[in-house]
Chain A
Amino acid sequence: MSDAIRHRLTPLEKSERRLGFAMLAPAFLLLAAVVLYPIAELIRNSFHFNHLAQPWMGTPFVGFENYVKALGDDRFHEAVWHTLLYILVTVPGAVVIGLGLALLANQPFRVKWPVRLGLLLPWALPLVFAGLIFRWFFEYNQGIANAMLRGLGFEPLNWLTSPGLAFFAICLAIIWKSSSFVALVLLAGLQTIPKSFYEAAEVDGATKWQQFREITLPMLRPAIFVALIFRTITAIQTFDIPYAMTNGGPGNSTETLAMYIHKTTIDFLDLGYGSALAVLMFLVSAVITSLYLRHTRRDPGRH
């Protein structure tokens, strides 16, 4: 009997529920049109042959053929490897630099806005812009990097045309660009730590370094995790900066997964294979993200 009462909606509740659905509908339809439909189309494509340069072949269903092709594709393997390297270098790099910037910005400056602006600017800059700026920095003849080397009496370097140096230069640009986002996340975290924690530690005899290790780092853990997750997800998709700086060159030594997918579909017009690669990239992101999330759930600092 109580069930019957619970399940019977009054006319007022029914009309409220209808209104609720009606208000959700536009957002849901938009989402379906621009996110769900393309993803479904991507997955469908990945199981078909679809090459725009070979329209006479039609778009037959080929099962897992595109995925099997990826397994044996050396260029794909290299792109995955490069992406992994970017993640390994730029994610910790951005977090360390970002933490430093956040600590700096959290100091009691008399005038705060130049500090905040300096933090926000790299973040607000479009990625391609950042890529172009660093391309000019490392340009052989007029770049500031080689100008400094010459000034110090060294030979200029082929920054963007030798594989190791190009990777280094791109990592530098990515870290510069992304550490400001990390700094903003960590700065928000820093500001939630009560001032009295530091004062109590000061009275208790802790040095600044001890205060950092005993209070700042443990209290910042959740914020650092958030920064790591976000940074890793964007690092998996690394595209704009290497695209603007080297376009994957020299050879394809700095090419990332996202760039290879872009080339496969846009330059080589192979939609079927490109779709399969995109699905694989999505799976990699999902796996890495879920690993992080499992780790945060185990976080012993919270209960």
Chain B
Amino acid sequence: MAGIEIAKVVKAYGSVPVIHGIDLSVRDGEFVVLVGPSGCGKSTLLRMIAGLESVTDGTIRIGDRVVNDLPPRDRDIAMVFQDYALYPHRTVAENVGFGLRMRGVDAATIARKVNEAAEILQITHLLDRKPGQLSGGQRQRVAMGRAIVRDPKVFLFDEPLSNLDAQLRAEMRVEIKKLHQRFGTTIIYVTHDQVEAMTLADRIAILKAGHVEQFATPDEVYRQPRSTFVARFIGSPSMNIVPARISPDAATIALAGGAALAAPASFARARGRDVLLGLRAEHLGLAGPEGVPARTVIVEPLGSDTLALMQIGGVEMTGRFPPSAPLRAGGEVTLGLDLEKAHLFDPETGLAIA
């Protein structure tokens, strides 16, 4: 077991930098998820930790060892790949025991450890099969077996669930979380799916264009996003972010296209400024006559609740309503906006106004 220290890490391909000086400190036993859109550098960072990509500048420490120049096999890590990387000509048992066999572990020990791992992952009945005969979820389990059998200091996961359908993905998410609770080994997990990030992580690192936008607990990135990028990326549906202007006396906030609302006291921090107002769907609600008039554009019933796109003056916002809410497309309603819970961002930098 070991923590990971990433300090001022830079990666460049030729003269093209893709990672611009990342600092991340992962505690021993922590489950950290690297999340971000395609091309943000999350996989590259993971591969640098694994040793599959060289480090252009900065240092990566696993435990108390600088591993920059260590080959992958000497880093005491295990990695689960997106395509599982199972060898089609080998049985499940041989795939799981591969790492041990390569390291010259004796056959009896390999058999014992493979059986232990298989039991944990409930794949004992599959041990004699070839990967080609397994379903996607079973292959995923085998790939994890191959990782846990080595009992490494750190597990690395590179988008392990992205080849599975939605239901299996939810199932395997639970499985991975159980594994972490059981072994308590440090995990670094890469995904582009914010739901996976929120449900699995102790802390989430949100990456954007080669730097860390925010590194915090799921709760914190949801409640206190550092920027509009994080605010939009985390949470489903995405946070509503609309241009607005706070009056010089900070008494009202005017949304683009008209509607003026009473501003809560906390908005005094941005008095007289143009801002981006961020409001999550659950902070819109149907209100009495004191609310803002709005027109329902689209209604999306989800069963447990209903999403509806609302036109408020010149802006559109998505709200989350109880399924019983009397909404129909084109209908006029009065909305209450819970501005106490709203976020203010600088329109120039996109950063939260504290």
Contacts and interface: CB of A to CB of B under 8 A. Distances in A.
Contacts of B89: 218-219, 221, 301
A207 B71 CA distance: 11
Contacts of B50: 199, 203
B143 to A, nearest CB: 9
A196 B132 CA distance: 17
Contacts of A200: 79, 81, 85, 146
Contact of A204 (B88, B98, B132): B98
Contacts of A149: none
Interface string B103-128: 10000000000000000000000000
29 contacts: A194-B85, A196-B81, A196-B85, A197-B87, A199-B50, A199-B52, A199-B81, A200-B81, A200-B85, A200-B146, A201-B102, A202-B51, A202-B52, A202-B72, A203-B51, A203-B72, A203-B77, A203-B99, A204-B98, A204-B146, A205-B99, A205-B102, A205-B103, A206-B98, A206-B102, A218-B89, A221-B89, A301-B88, A303-B130
B85 A202 contact: no
B83 A194 contact: yes
Interface string B145-157: 0100010000000
Contacts of A199: 50, 52, 72, 79, 81, 85
Interface of B: 50-52, 71-73, 77-79, 81-83, 85, 87-89, 98-99, 102-103, 130, 132-133, 146, 150
Contacts of A218: 87, 89
B313 to A, nearest CB: 52
A16 interface: no
Contacts of B83: 194, 196
A15 interface: no
A31 B130 CA distance: 44
Contact of A210 (B51, B102, B150): B102
Contacts of A206: 73, 98, 102
A293 interface: no
A155 to B, nearest CB: 50
Contacts of B79: 199-200, 203
A283 interface: no
Interface in A192-226: 194, 196-197, 199-207, 210, 214-215, 218-219, 221
A207 B104 CA distance: 12
For the complex of A and B, the 4 pairs showing the least CB-CB separation, nearest first, are A204-B99, A200-B85, A205-B73, A196-B85
Given A202-B52, A202-B72, 9 more contacts: A196-B81, A199-B85, A200-B79, A202-B71, A203-B79, A203-B99, A219-B89, A301-B88, A303-B132
Given A214-B87, A303-B132, A202 B81 contact: no
Contacts of B87: 197, 214-215, 218
Contacts of A203: 50-52, 72-73, 77-79, 99
Interface in A213-267: 214-215, 218-219, 221
A204 B147 CA distance: 8
A79 B85 CA distance: 50
Nearest to B130: A303
Contacts of A303: 130, 132-133
Nearest to B95: A200
Interface string A76-117: 000000000000000000000000000000000000000000
Nearest to A215: B87
Nearest to B156: A203
A194 B88 CA distance: 11
Contacts of B103: 205
B84 to A, nearest CB: 8
A204 B102 contact: yes
A219 B132 CA distance: 14
A272 B103 CA distance: 66
B85 A197 contact: yes
Contacts of B99: 203-205
B52 A204 contact: no
Contacts of A207: 102
Nearest to A221: B89
A43 B99 CA distance: 59
A219 B85 CA distance: 13
B152 to A, nearest CB: 9
Point out which of B81, B130, B132 has the most chain A C-beta atoms below 10 A from its C-beta: B81
Contacts of B130: 303
B104 to A, nearest CB: 9
A210 B103 CA distance: 10
B93 to A, nearest CB: 15
B222 to A, nearest CB: 33
Contacts of A221: 89
Contacts of A202: 51-52, 71-73
Contacts of A197: 85, 87
Contacts of B77: 203
A203 B155 CA distance: 11
B149 to A, nearest CB: 10
Contacts of B88: 219, 301
B69 to A, nearest CB: 15
Contacts of A196: 81-83, 85
